[in-house]
């Protein structure tokens, strides 16, 4: 059992499923609102969740500014990416997870299982727990 800090977008369908998997595996969650967290005062902390991921993978591909082409993560430097995310936290790939001194962004079930354990609560193979299942809704990720 681990104590997991879980940074989510409240009401996000996938974040709810991810939390259920972690709790079913016996982990205790401390849930934070990713959109309200004071990232402007915590830029280094935000950067630490992405470790060695390439900059484009730091972003939530379902964010409206990305989907409509206002922001191109492929051309962003680390500094520019963090500034965009501080200004508009919906851009941050979620969830952000922290436990046992380690941080990560996104919910790759295999990686989470290896790190924290999902043994009794593994999702179905191939189940996508990151892509928004409601892309047809124009307001799905607005706030």
Q: Which residues make Cβ contacts (< 8 Å) with residue 42, sequence separation at least 6?
A: none
Q: Where do we find the tokens 């124009």?
A: 138
Closest C-alpha among 26, 28, 34, 40 to residue 8:
34
141 part of the active site: no
Q: Give the separation between CA 132 and CA 12, rounded to whole angstroms.
A: 8
Which DSSP letter does residue 29 get? E
User: Which strands sit side by side in the sheet containing 3-8, from one edge to the other?
Assistant: 28-33, 3-8, 96-99, 102-105
Among the listed residues 12, 104, 132, 141, the single catalytic one is: 12
Catalytic positions are 12
């Amino acid at each position: 059992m681990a104590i997991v800090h879980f940074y989510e977008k409240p009401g996000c369908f996938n974040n709810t499923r991810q939390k259920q998997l972690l709790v079913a595996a016996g982990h205790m969650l401390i849930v934070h609102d990713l959109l309200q967290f004071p990232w402007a005062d915590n830029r280094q902390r935000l950067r630490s969740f992405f470790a060695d991921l390439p900059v484009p993978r730091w972003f939530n591909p379902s964010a409206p500014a990305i989907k409509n082409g206002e922001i191109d993560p492929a051309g962003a430097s680390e500094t520019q990416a963090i500034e965009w995310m501080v200004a508009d936290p919906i851009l941050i790939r979620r969830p952000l997870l922290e436990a046992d001194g380690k941080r990560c962004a996104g919910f790759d079930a295999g990686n989470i299982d290896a790190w924290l354990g999902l043994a009794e609560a593994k999702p179905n193979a191939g189940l996508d727990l990151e892509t928004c299942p409601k892309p047809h809704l124009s307001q799905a990720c607005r706030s």
